[in-house]
Chain A
Amino acid sequence: MKVYRLRIAVQFVCFILLVYGGLFLIDLGSRLPTFSCAYMDDRGGGCFFIGFQHMLNRPLGEFLGDAGIRLLKAVGIFALWAIVLNKAWCGWVCPFGFLQDMMTKLRTFIGVDVSRFAWMTRTRYRSVKYILLVLMILIPLGMANSVFGLPTLPRDWSVAFCQICPARLILPIFNGDFSQIYVDFSGSVRLILTSLGVILTGLFFTTAFVKRRFLCSYCPMLAALSLFDKIGLTSLKKNGQRCTRCGNCSRACPMEIREIEEEKTLTNLVTQDCTLCLRCVEVCPEDKALQATFCGVPIFTASQEGFLKRQGLPGENKTEKEI
């Protein structure tokens, strides 16, 4: 079972669904825990964050009433999505992630080597996504409420995250809308935010040729989803005794997660950065050492012969392109 092919197929379908779904009158609501950007005209469902930021832009008092209820409702829907698919949203659904994977395909096709972070760097920057998430919650609140008597944030801060989010610039392009690639001069805040967006977009195009899923490691959506890691129905299990710590998994992991290799005791391996792409399970040569489960039912298990099959065996006339 060559999961990476299945995955690409699923990702492609989801991409079409989310980016062009609107054309087929598909609407999965606007609470999706994935970067299906709300700035796309023909999208089949909207990213949760934009609505989330708007909803938070209220005087605190109002959260005790309808506004609060509505917020809870929205978060509830989000949580429901998140619990069912868990991180698979990132690894299998997210259109932006799909684009990055495609860039990686292109890179490997050209034959550019992937480069990895030093361990310290990797761990140091892990917190970025959480910081972004917290900011995304605080900024709208700061717009509608004055904290410690400070003046409220100017309106330029509205949907601040969307302004820096590279998905806003890139995804609408697939709807033929390039207008999102702009710099806003109307105020210093807007100027900075939109320029950040442009810079990140530039990084998206360049880093794709040296790293896998570079931006995902800083994605607040990943952070938000990682709150449901342990209760998610889809999950990644590990049998420490069967693991030889051969390091194949952590090397193949697009997110450069080391726990999956180092852990011998922990069973649930959906770590904060995991996107459930199941690459690790694919490259695991030990029987039943790694296992992807849904509601506890194994759906994909590592095995020796499976590994060798995926490595293109048995077979003489295969080229290295296969892997």
Chain B
Amino acid sequence: MSYFAGIDIGSATTKVAVIDDEQILGYKVAPTGVHCEETAQQILGDLLKQLELPEDAVERVTSTGYGRRLVKFASSNISEISANVKGATWYGAQAGVTVRTIINIGGQDSKVIALDDSGVTKNFAMNDKCAAGTGRFLETLCRIMEINVTEMGEVSLESKVPIRINSTCAVFAESEIISLLARRKEKADIIAGAHYSIANRVARMVKRIGLQETVFFDGGPALNCGLKKALEDELVTDLYVPPSVPQVTTAVGAALIAREESLNGEIVEAETA
């Protein structure tokens, strides 16, 4: 019995997932600190503790995400795209859907990945320049609104006619929203409007690379049902959001890759032998 770990160091949170040959054993999400390697170490440690596994039980560790190169102890690191793809396809396989498009909205970027039938990346679009249309934007919104991120979805669903947020830049949007609040507009409408403006941007990316069913939606904001609805409206399709915590898909993907690498490694060894 061998164990593998995937570490996804995102801008907002760090996710760690541990799997064995069959299934996921566990995962853990924690905010990324300043020193991401320590954080990663610590989280992994905690997770193993939870799983009552020895420190060295993990055979291979693959890191991904922005900080992936900072994780010295990782046996390999890989771009979050492939990791995301891997994870998404795996989850899809679990649910019995063939994922063709992946929408991942992260802390400070959002990507759209197009796959072919065999789950190989065909094309991808990415917005990593601007915070608008990312989780970070939603967080600022919550801060201004003084509500919890997790409530956003439910609140936004109450809105009848959302208010359009024209500013495409997170900073301007902020001021715009403040002025809206000043004009006593419904919070729900504002939030919904924000959702639609994000959805709109994402939808534009999707349009660029072309949308194919099934669409797999992951990343932290995927928890936000309002955003999900907005996206579904804009894309005119259903989104598949993994049942368990959707932000760890990338980490899981990394872990899966670690496992594959080890298997391949064995094969290689066998050949040399």
A–B proximity contact (CB within 8 A): no
List the interface of chain A (C-beta within 8 A of B): none
List the interface of chain B (C-beta within 8 A of A): none
